[in-house]
Amino acid sequence: MATVTLKSLFNENRFPRGLSLIIFLLYFPFGVLLACVRLLVLVQACLLASALSEVPVLKSYILLCVCQVLGIVVQEEDVSHKNTQARILVSNHVTRYDQLPLHVATGCVTPHAWELPSCLDWALGVKDLSLRHGREALVSAVRGHLSKDPRPVLFHPEGATTSGRRGLLRFSTWPFGIVGSVQPVALTAHRPVFASLAPSVVGASHLADLLWFLCAPYTVFTIRYLPLMQRAGDETEAQSSSRVAEAVAQRLKVVCTNYTSADKAEFEKRLQLDRSTTAGRAAPRTDPVLQGMADRVAEVLPDVPLDVILRDVGRTQSVDATIANILDGVVPYTPLRTPRSTPAPAASAAPVPEGAGASSSFPRSAQDRMQSFQFRKARLIETARRKYIEKHNLTMADVADFAC
């Protein structure tokens, strides 16, 4: 299996680069206008579906309207492999709206966990099949559906969207134990060069994907059918899922990976944390007051990285509180291999706000600085204790009993 990193499986940036970005910026005003018009049409279609949900002829109309609103264009390839008797379809997952083109092409339904009116369920090609209640309830509901409804059920075994260009997430095994055969489908999505927005972006919300769908001129979904795949008698669900995944990956000219949807969720958390940390690091450096306070902390603790100090000073707004946090282990850090030299006297440093708790100068030796810090720390604790006693009208005996 080719080596593919988890990061390379997803789009982190929705917008194109270079000349394509310039072209998109020229198109963008028209895209905003198009999104507004489409949003109005979509709302009207939903209202119409709710008012006339008992009229069967509306199904095809509403579905066509929804696809037109979202700019969905469906193309089918390898139609000779399309099996109308297939009961389970499995497809890779490239956008949050993959069920729409597949529903248009095959009439399938997709399990979902949304709270939607029944009229919108069949208009969007989705169905409540107890997805929220776990695997056993879902499998039971799917079997019940297949026993009385001719429409096949579509599954995305990856469990999360990818870019579809480098590799597939590992397929879940449970869809392959429902019936003896499945219809594999390889799905791709692309947009025109002048609006080549990524259909899905790691960390993006459902609303963001929908708005950019409305803004894009159109999105072409290409459905490539693979031959119906039977599960061998001695084949496990895991073996069957791996075999189908390999077939889909080969058709898409990508590779299978061992990454799962849970790995993607963890990657999204790390990405959001890194972005927030980067933003947090940049803010204090632009504030001369916080920079001055951080420099004073650095005089006492020269082996602590400055960015660590800046982040905590930005949170505490206090020199003494940050020093205490670092010494008490509240703020983790990796000590500098070579401690920074003690800065020049802070006469030109930015002034420390009143109440910061720092004196105007620090002793020269490290031992004297530590003694001074311990004294000021004890004084702060004593002040806090006295204020607490005064606030709650306590006596020293009460405090002693509480401490015991």
Tens digit of pLDDT for each residue in 292-308? Answer: 888 888 887 888 888 88
Which of 19-23, 95-99, 385-389 is predicted least confidently? 385-389
CA 117 to chain centre: 27
Do 101 and 218 belong to one domain? yes
Is the pLDDT at 395 greater than 70? The verdict is: no
Do 219 and 343 belong to one domain? no
CB 104 within 8 A of CB 219: no
Do 79 and 184 belong to one domain? yes
- Residues 47, 53, 55, CA angle at the centre, nearest 5°? 125
Averaged pLDDT, 86-101: 92
Is the pLDDT at 161 greater than 90? The verdict is: yes
What pLDDT is recorded for position 341? 54
Do 174 and 239 belong to one domain? yes
What pLDDT is recorded for position 277? 63
Do 262 and 339 belong to one domain? no
Residue with the larger pLDDT of the pair 92 and 4: 92
Do 231 and 345 belong to one domain? no
pLDDT level of residue 77 (50, 70, 90 thresholds): very high
| Residue 278, in any domain of the structure | no
Q: What is the dihedral of CA 331, 334, 340, 344, to 10 degrees?
A: -10
Do 378 and 312 belong to one domain? no
| Residue 276, in any domain of the structure | no
| Residue 393, in any domain of the structure | yes
| Residue 387, in any domain of the structure | yes
Closest CA to 7 of 200, 190, 264: 264
Do 199 and 118 belong to one domain? yes
What pLDDT is recorded for position 189? 94
| Residue 133, in any domain of the structure | yes
Domain CATH code at residue 295: 1.10.8.10
Do 41 and 80 belong to one domain? yes
Number of domains in the chain: 3
Is the pLDDT at 343 greater than 50? The verdict is: no
Dist CA 349 CA 357 (whole Å): 16
Do 373 and 327 belong to one domain? no
| Residue 253, in any domain of the structure | yes
Domain that holds residue 71: 7-269
Is the pLDDT at 367 greater than 80? The verdict is: no
